Structure 1
Amino acid sequence: MIKRIEKLRRFMKVEGLDALFIYSYENRRYFSGFSGSNGYLLITDSYCGLITDQRYTEQAKEQSPSFEVVTHGIEPFKTIQEVFEGNVFSRIGFESESISVHLFTTLSSMFTDCDWVPLTKELLTLRSKKDPEEVEIIRKAIAISDQSFKELVPMISPGMTEKEVAVELEYLMGKHGHEGPAFGTIVASDTRAALPHATPSINKIKTDHFLLIDYGVKYMGYMSDMTRTLWIGSPSEELKEYYYLTHDALEKSIEAVKPGMTGHELDTVARQVFLREGLEGYSLRGLGHGIGLQIHENPRIVLNSNEVLEPGMVFTIEPGLYVPGKVGVRVEDIVLVTESGCEILTNTPRHIHI
């Protein structure tokens, strides 16, 4: 955590900030290591404070040894005020997209002599390059995901409902040690796969169609994310063409990854595959997203993104085609940017035929 605090303080110096007030779970955990559900961080160039309630005092001391842990009572504001008054600063950055109106109004009214500087994506950007410890945790999350899917596939058969498949998958993820699904598991059969975020229903798996499964696990706070489109029986040649195009877009995108390119440039690689076939209108506006303590982080691999890819970034590549009433196909892997290209972290086979 010390290196992360050092990185944060360099950012503060560049931005002319004397202090940072951090409230969001993800940033609080990233910079302090504390995984409890309630807490506030105050960080200056010489002080690191973690304010939480008595449920988490001992946990906070164990997980955040570099921080002074301060316990508040039922009402946290008096304690926050005391911690603030123990430090001298005039410009304090805060997470404008995470903090509630009530919390901000109360704090700013208590400290009217402070210049409150709103931050949006700056801290998310600081988290975009994963350190070796983070990469190893993500690898473990992916390993749980891969093993769960491997055990799920033999269970799948025509006649099962989407809900039944989702329940079996989530049971297996729990059995192998996840902390919960990374997001709502998506299971969509035949034409329902054309809904990019379909909720599992009582729709039954049909022979000679596709079955799309998109899911992820949470492990030690970090996420995995993978999509596979399974062949059930023998889909028609027309349906297979959508599948092959999507698979081609994935492969070309992975081959193209290199440090220095922008998210927009990588998105364009996959988009060109669909444009040549006149199907780009059935794709989404983005190819992928960073992954870490949140399921959607930086970098954003989307149209018009000027974020530059750097070694250490971890993100999904997930091209898809969604033709209403006909077909939905998505194939998704997670990659780690290296000095010369990328490493594919997902190990589940892409083509699965039942």
Structure 2
Amino acid sequence: MPTRDVPEFDPVKSPVIGVLLCNLGTPDAPTPSAVRRYLAEFLSDPRVVEIPAALWKPILHGVILPRRPRQSAEKYGKVWLPEGSPLQVWTEKQALLLRGWLGERGHDRVRVRHAMRYGKPSIADQLTALREQDRCEHILVVSLYPQYSATTTASVIDAVNAWTAEQRDIPELRFANRFFADPGYIRALARRVMEHWQQHGQPDQLVMSFHGIPERNVQRGDPYARECEATAALLAERLALKPNQFKLTYQSRFGRAKWLEPYTQPTIESLARQGARRVDVVCPGFVSDCLETLEEIGLECRDAFLAAGGQEFHQIPCLNDSRAWMAALVGIVEDHLGGWSTRGCAAETRLPQVAPHTASAPLR
């Protein structure tokens, strides 16, 4: 049977490794129409709203989407940056910096892109770009949610799986799904807080506010709450805080169901009524500042605290592009790339000759 020659493996053109940083998503603009498109995609995800579609879709399209986009657009407008959405700006910057840090550490075969679970750039488009434009045969998907939840991390995996279902040649895939107790991440959080305190002094109370999820999700096995509690305990230990100096709370409640408690804004109002003159809020579950940190915490909770009698309120910035966070992110990525060659090939490899497959020659 005739054979065909397979070209020698060229180390210069060898396949590279892709890293895809994934965050939640954002509208394209702070306008009702853009927010409506974003919310329609976000709130149609069964991981986000675990209500049968037959019951949920009439509520979504008949009640929520006609009303909520205008309200949300006003909030986005308060925090929108000249370059775009804060979440988009910071996530893109993290991807750019990660690429540079990895290059400086000799990982010259690694390419980094970022994607949004909802909105643009989409996970599917960026996976296609990594495979086709960057020639990646190995891809690490990094969910930028420190604490795992089915509502966030599993949804990213769903999006990756939806992409693979449409592909014939699927690259080797890995997932970095959580880093709630990663030492570098905890150090970066603590440094962010301590740098703020070095400039502004310490508060009467530090509130660690995490994004909430419905309580029934935890009852069904979601590990999110215990991972938030672990992060809070590790951060408090790193900051040498006593139990009466900090509180763990949950924000961004949506709908009428009971969510994880205690809720952030009522807790902050209660602290003011109890005599706390100054409260600082840090959001360990967000690695980038976004609507939930800048508007919900920085504006809404601030106003609520002052209205309840508080004197001074600080929203401590998220990790964003801080050096300590980028060092932690590099460490997380390197740990998950273990076993994949990230540096240039030192020697050539010759592939064996193979017999061509034809329809008249059945495989045996």
TM-score normalized by the length of structure 2: 0.26
Q: Which has the higher helix share?
A: 2
Q: Which has the higher strand share?
A: 1
TM-score normalized by the length of structure 1: 0.27
